Amino acid sequence: MKRILMLLLIAVSMMACKETKKTGKDSQKKVAITQKEIHKELYGFWVGNFVASEDYEYQDDTYAAVKKLNINIKKITKDTVIAQSIVSGNSRPLLGKISENGGKITFILDEPGTDQYDGKFEITLIGDALIGEWNAYKTALKWPKKEFKLVKKAFVYNANLMLPTEADYIDWTDHKMVESLDTLEDGTIDSLGANTFYRSASEGIFKINASNMLLKEEDVKNLRKLDLQIIKNTIFARHGYAFKKQTLRNFFDPVEWYVPVKNNVDNDLTPIENKNVKLLDRFTKYAEDNYDTFGR
């Protein structure tokens, strides 16, 4: 009988301990959830160029190309900062801390580490800009250190936004080699070497807005393939689509109004845009590209 009573007492004691631990964990979670938010004025999108540091020796144009970084700060407490980074079409959650020393605000934000290219952001608020650097966790990859200066920028969809006309829209990622030949006096053919030809867009990309006008076949039937692709993807850029393809990032990342926000904008398209995307896709299948020589 005494043994049975003792076993019952032990069981009750263990249950009480478990309940106490559970209650403790729940209260900790509650404290974390209800912790006062600070520096709400810093919430939102911070956007700017994301470039390899000056001391990095470029191996190819992938590192040299201008990339646009968007850090979305979502929540700040004295213990935790929750944010998100978007660059090169990749969206990564960020978790870290904020520190204040003599009025100077700094952030340390970590990517999860589940991707081989994840790393750490070290950021300082200087004036109205977030300035800092990013370093990959895996040093064996020899992934270059990146530097950035970000300014706060609101994202607002605007159907009237167009690509700037002063830029050249040449697809440096796609080329073909064309051999130059010369006929000599004796009738033999001599090769003068090969030239590199790249895809280029026409001025049609500045004349057609596929977000505010319903396109007809005659509007697009004479356009180049690259024209059609740019006109279509300008629709997505207006909605903040984060482009993964290098060619499209080369076109849109340098554009001032472009803010990469999300990886899917299909549900954001207007009825006019949906109809135009289908028309543009249909003509893209049969359109041809224009190749020309350009100096780099």
Residue 195 lies in a domain: yes
Q: Which of 129-133, 186-190, 290-294 has the lowest mean pLDDT?
A: 186-190
> What pLDDT was estimated at residue 140?
82
User: What CATH number does the domain containing 118 carry?
Assistant: 2.40.128.120
> What pLDDT was estimated at residue 175?
75
Question: Which residues are within 8 A (CB) of 196 and not within 5 positions of it... i.e. 6 or more apart?
Answer: 175, 176, 177, 293
Are 194 and 271 in a shared domain? Answer: yes
> What pLDDT was estimated at residue 187?
62
CB burial of residue 267 (10 Å; 0-12, 13-18, 19+) = exposed
Are 136 and 53 in a shared domain? Answer: yes
Q: Which two tokens stand for residue 59?
A: 């191996």
Are 99 and 195 in a shared domain? Answer: no
Are 184 and 131 in a shared domain? Answer: no
List, for residues 24-44, the tens digit of each pLDDT value. Answer: 445 444 544 578 999 999 999
List, for residues 192-224, the tens digit of each pLDDT value. Answer: 556 788 999 999 999 999 999 999 999 999 999
SS3 21: helix
- The better pLDDT of the pair 13, 251 is held by 251
List, for residues 55-80, the tens digit of each pLDDT value. Answer: 655 555 544 567 999 999 999 999 99
CA distances from 186 to 182, 183, 189, 190 (A): 11, 8, 9, 11
Residue 70 lies in a domain: yes
Range of the domain at 248: 170-293
Single out the residue in 102, 119, 153 at which a domain terminates: 153
Total number of domains in the chain: 2
Q: Where residue 9 falls among pLDDT bands split at 50, 70, 90?
A: very low
> What pLDDT was estimated at residue 290?
86
- Whether 265 shows a pLDDT value over 70: the answer reads yes
Are 112 and 189 in a shared domain? Answer: no
- What H or E segment, with its residue span, contains residue 100? strand 90-101
Residue 66 lies in a domain: yes
Single out the residue in 123, 153, 183 at which a domain terminates: 153
Starting at the edge strand found earlier in the chain, the sheet holding 189-200 runs 170-183, 189-200, 290-292
* Entry pTM: 0.81
Residue 161 lies in a domain: no
